Structure 1
C-alpha cells in the first residue's frame, strides 16, 4: 500500500517518508508552538517561539522544493502544497506562481534579478538609510522586512502586478485580522510571534548571504543577464555551499539541507533528502566549495551593516571565494526566494 502511494503521488522513490515527515514536522512545530505561546506561561512561550520559528523555516524550504516540483509527480500537487505552506511562512502576500517564476529565473539567468532596487532607494534617502543601518547593527533584519513589506504594496506600485490588488486586499484582511486577534488576546503572545517571524527572516538571510556572488541586477540590465545565462562554469564558480556541519551532516536538516547549494544548482530537481548523497557524489571529500560554518558566522556578524549595500568588488568570483575563506566577505541581502520581485 505504501509503495503504491509513493509510486502514484511522489516524484522520487523513497520520497514518501522524508517528505511526509517534513510536512508533518513543520505543521507540528508551527501550530504546537502557537499553542505553547497561547498558554502564556513564560517558559512555554519561549519554547513555543523557537518551535514556531523553526516550523516556518522548514515550511519555507519545502516551498522551495515545491517550486522545483521535487515533492510530488504532479506540478499541481506541488503548487497546492506550496501555496498552503506560504501561509505558514508569512510570505503569502506574494503569489506562489510569482515566487516560482522568480526563483526559476535565478537558476536560468545565473543572477539575482529584481524589480525593487532598495539599494538605490536608500542611497537617495539618507535618513531612511541611516535608520536601516542602525537596525541592521542591532541584528534586526530591516532589509528583509522592507522586502516582505513591499510585497503588500507591490500590486499598487508595480503596474505588472495590478491584477493582484483584490487578492492582496483579501490576504491582508485575513492576516491582519489574525494578528489583531492575537494582540488583543495577549500583547506578549503577539510579540512572541513577531520574534518567531524575525528568527525566520534571520535564518533565511543567513543561508542566502554567501551562497552566490552573482550580484543583484535590475530587469533593465538585460545585457548582463544574457552574458551569464546558461553558463554552467560561471554558475559553479559563483556558487558556494554553506553547510552547518560537515562532520555531523544531520545538523544540516535544520535548514532542510539547503546548504548543499552547489549540489542543488548542479541538479536543481534533486529533492532535499537526496542532496547530501549528490554532494558526496559530485565533490567527495573536496571541501573547497564548502564555507566553514564559523567563517559564515564571522562574516555575517562583522559585515551586517555593510551588507545593506553589499560590496561591488565581490562580483569577481576568485576574490570573493578567497574572502569567504578568510571570513571577511560581505555577502548579499534582500534576495530571499519568498520575496518575488
Structure 2
C-alpha cells in the first residue's frame, strides 16, 4: 500500500514509530511549521501556493512529501537512507515512464486519483486534533489522557449508517482509536458507541467537515489550526480552521 500512495520512501518501521510517538506524547510532530513557512517564503511563491490551495490543489502536501524524499541528501542524520532513496526513485520513475508509454491517459488518471486521495485524507484528518505541534526532533512534553481526549475529535461520514465509514476504514472514529490504540479498525464503531455516544461536542458531521474544509482552505495555511472548543466547552466551528499536512505517510 505504501507503494501505491507514495509513502514508500519512508520505511514502515519508521512510520509506525512516528504514529506510536503521536499516541504516547499526545502531540503532532511535523517536518516544518506550515504557517511559518507560508509567511516567510517570497511573495510570488506564497501567492502561487495559496492560489493552488484555493483551487483545491494540495500544493503544501506535495511540498511536504518531496521535502521528505529529499531529506536524506541534506539532513546529515538521514544520510544512511540515500542509497535506498535513490533506488526507489529510479524504480518508481521507471514504472511511471512505462505506464505513460503504455497509456498516457492512465498516467494522468493516476495523478488525478492521487490528488483525490490526498484531498479525502485531508478532509477526514483535518479536524481530528488540536494538539500542540512540535518540530520533529525538538523537545515535546508528554501530555495525559485527559488532554488527549479534549483535543481529539471524531469525524464521521455518518453516525447513523456506521457502515459508510468503512469507505475510509473507520478512520473517523478517532476518539475511539486514541482511547484504545490496539482496537482493530473494524471494531472502532462499536468501541465509539460504547465510550463516546453522548459526546456530541467532540464529533463533527460530514456537512460540518466539508463546510469548514472549504471555508478555511486558505486560512489554515497562514493562521494554523485555530481553536475547536470555546470557554464553555462548546464546539466553535467559526474558529476551528483545521490542520494541514500532519499525516501523509512521510517521515518527519
Normalised TM-score (structure 1): 0.69
Segments of 5+ residues of structure 1 without an aligned counterpart are 1-84
Quote the residue 1:247 is aligned against: 160
Unaligned runs of 5+ in 2: none
In structure 2, relative to structure 1, the CA distance for the partners of 1:283 and 1:310 (3 Å cut) is same
Does residue 206 of structure 2 align to residue 293 of structure 1?
yes
What is aligned with 2:187? 274
CA 1:144–1:193: 2 relative to 1, 3 Å:
same
Residue 205 of structure 1 and its aligned partner are, at CA, apart by 1.2
Structure with more relative contact order (C-alpha pairs < 8 Å, separation 6 or more)? 2
Corresponding residue SS for 1:116: coil
Partner residue in 2 for 1:103? 19
Structure having the higher Rg: 1
SS at match of 1:113: strand
Among 74, 77, 88, the alignment partner of 1:171 is 88
Deviation of the 1:312 alpha carbon: 6.1
> CA 1:317–1:264 in 2, change beyond 3 Å: closer, same or farther?
same
Offset, 1:317? 4.7
1:91 aligned onto 2:4? no
- 1:101 is displaced (CA, Å) by 1.3
Distance 2:242 2:74 in 1: 28
Q: Which one is further off, 86-95 or 136-145? A: 86-95
Q: Which has the higher helix share?
A: 1
The question of 1:329 aligning with 2:245 is answered no
Contact in 1 for aligned 2:128/2:154 (Cα 8 Å)? yes
- The corresponding residue for 1:302 is 215
Distance 1:278 1:182 in 2: 43
RMSD: 1.9
Out of 46, 51, 62, the residue aligned to residue 129 of structure 1 is 46
- One of 147, 151, 163 as aligned partner of 2:64: 147
- Kindly indicate whether the alpha-carbon contact (under 8 Å) linking 2:50 and 2:218 is maintained by their aligned counterparts in 1: yes
C-alpha contact 1:205 1:333 (8 A) present in aligned 2: yes
